[in-house]
Amino acid sequence: MNKYIVLNIVLFSFLNIHQIQGQQELNFNHYMLNSQLFNPAFVGLEENLTISSISNLQWLGFEGNPETNSIFLDAKLKNNLGIGMELISDKIGPTSSNFIAINAAYHLKLNKNSHRLSLGIKLSGNDHNISLNSMSFDDITDPNVRTKDSYFITNIGFGLRYYTDKLYLSFSIPYFFEPKTINKKRHYYLSGGFKKELNDKLLINPNFLIKKASNTPTSIDVSTMLFYEDLFWFGINYGASGNGFISPNSSGSNLSFISGFKLIPALSIGYSVTSQIGNWTGSSNSRSHEIYIKFSTSKKLVKSSDESLPENKVNGDPNLLLKKRN
């Protein structure tokens, strides 16, 4: 097989991967701990400035394996106003994507019984690149072969979040426009969860996340997190798309184990490992690994004049889930 045929096969494969990436959104196992990625209405719920990062690695041992690194900032500007930022780098083979977004949210108190509604907006820019220059092919001289391509896409998104001290329900469209250059589809997100204290030290926090786009299978994630005070947490996440949700052994379903702890009062660290359900006994190279780090500063950007937000954020933050006890 000559190099030209091989090159076209590689081009076809990675262009299809690139197109699939445009259709599908990023998915993190720690979505319940950092939800501004898919819904801007989650920013500004904490009193202090927080900085967090999530790194996801897949197919370890393979050249050009998928790798995603991200940094998130979250701050409360006023009693009812929050702002956040996302910086994300996503790579797979010769394709890469660098993403930035600014999120803002306004939090409304619906009544005196802790029923609240958050309205969020997201402004984003995404630089998509595909380059074959880094691949091991000699003398790509055919003028019909495009070895490099680049697109910069801007977008806007919206989100709603209803919540009390015990539960939450949210809906969002993080990227409203559907750019044709990368075949990016509009995704609709529905998420929710609740918390229940089992005793003075243990709290259980089930969550779900549903994603849907036109002409793509519905994706569902269901997780249960168990927190020991604000020191340690452990959870399981089951994710599936299409028929995978009712046929767990199919290629469309996976299982994740999530754990984490507070290293010092201001620093939390988490880790998760994911594999298709039928591959847990197979090669470890097929698994994905995710590291979560969160730093909470002691600095408050504003002084709260009242308790306008619930003391406990119910989307799973281990630092805020349990009520302060005297």
Q: pLDDT tens-digit profile of 145-163?
A: 555 678 899 999 999 999 9
Q: What is the rounded CA–CA span in Å between residue 90 and residue 80?
A: 33
Q: What is the structure's pLDDT at 8?
A: 47
Which segments within 175-306 are labelled E, that is strand? Answer: 187-194, 196-197, 202-213, 219-228, 232-241, 253-264, 267-276, 288-300
Tell which wins on pLDDT, 11 or 244: 244
Q: SS3 breakdown of the chain: % helix, strand, coil, rounded to 5?
A: 10, 50, 40
Q: What is the rounded CA–CA span in Å between residue 189 and residue 170?
A: 8
Q: Domain limits of the chain?
A: 3-198+296-300
Cα 97 from chain centroid (whole Å): 15
Residue pointed to by tokens 């089930």: 206
Does 311 have pLDDT greater than 50?
Answer: no
Q: pLDDT tens-digit profile of 113-136?
A: 789 999 999 999 999 888 766 555
- Give whichever of 164-173, 182-191, 307-316 has the largest mean pLDDT: 164-173
State the pTM of this model.
Answer: 0.82
Name, in order, each residue with C-beta under 8 angstroms of 98's C-beta and a sequence gap of 6 or more.
88, 89, 90, 126, 127, 129
